[in-house]
Amino acid sequence: MIIADTHNDLLDAIVYRPVDQWVPHFRDQWLPQLHAGGVNLQVLPVFIDDCFRPEGALRQTLRMIEVAHRIAEGDPDTVKLCVDGADIDEALNGDRIALVLALESAPGVGEDVELMETLYRLGVRIASLAHFGRTSLADGSGEDATGSRLTRAGVAAFAEMERLGMIFDVSHLSAAGVEHVLEMATRPVMATHSSARALRDHHRNLTDAQLKGIADNGGVVCVNFFAPFLHESDFTIDRLVDHIEHIAGVMGIRHVGLGPDFVKEVLEDTTPPCCEAQFIEGVPTDKFIPGLEGPSGMPLVAEALKKRGWPDDDIALVMGQNVLDLFRTELKRGTKK
């Protein structure tokens, strides 16, 4: 069974360490967790903390991309940084973890859309254009009240991504932005870490209409494991499975994946004890599903789906095959101007 995780901020936990600790920390702290969880396809988002925006955003973006390259070069027998479906198949066939780089919000690009190609050359194959707030390219879901679509620069960035062969990520995008993207898209899009708004009314989740639109577009929605986005108080694996089942019921089984967004260790590694954030976007940051605080818990999801009566073939699709199939067809080396 392929297990694909489309959102793990481990680069953020590594980049703050001294450069000579980047590879050893990944090898000692994260690689055992990925192996324990059976993860063999891992998307690595490049998320830029507010303290680097705007002036230092591009520099920090490049540093995090460098972390990914050094990890791949430091452990070539266990991981491979992949730029297309053939690379992913080569990694999997060699019993290595396939790593795929993604931009989360792309603050380092700003309105300089030509930098999308620069970052593409460095291995980035997935990108979103906003986080919770506003960027020069689009509004995030926290700005839904504005009703804003992509900006002119955002439309240009989207067109450039389609030309290059990058996958557009609608997670964190405003509701109007998702609608705008689906109107323009000629290729499948994905949500790397989003859950169902019908079950938990939070702006970070997707409505049934949005889910149907992404399914019609041929895309995949990968369910977020962050407990407060799944339920107000019942932080259990059953509530996660509820979201998986709802999204599969709305979109069809071929359009569902897993985007855990394991943040417990990342927050512990990057947040000073003096000023630990207690809430983000109105939800607590210290609530997690027992056993699913990190990658080693991924098999628990398959077990929970099995208990709900899911057949093995459908479980395999959700655990990773759907994402693998999308990447095989949509991750390309692109065309040059």
State pLDDT tens for residues 212-253.
999 999 999 999 999 999 999 999 999 999 999 999 999 999
Cα–chain-centroid distance for residue 152? 25
Alpha-carbon gap, residue 128 to 107, rounded angstroms:
10
Alpha-carbon gap, residue 95 to 115, rounded angstroms:
33
Mean pLDDT of the chain, nearest integer: 94
Does a cis peptide bond (omega within 30 degrees of 0) precede residue 54?
yes
Lowest mean pLDDT among 29-38, 114-123, 181-190, 285-294: 285-294
pTM for this model (two decimals): 0.94
Q: What is the DSSP letter of 282?
A: T
DSSP 3-state of 129: coil
Q: How far apart are the first and last CA of the chain?
A: 39
Give 261-296 pLDDT, tens digit per residue.
Answer: 987 787 777 766 555 567 888 898 889 999 999 999
At CB < 8 A and 24+ separation, what contacts does 153-160 make? Answer: 153/110, 153/111, 153/113, 154/129, 155/184, 156/113, 157/106, 157/109, 157/113, 157/116, 157/127, 157/129, 158/129, 158/184, 159/184, 160/113, 160/114, 160/116, 160/117
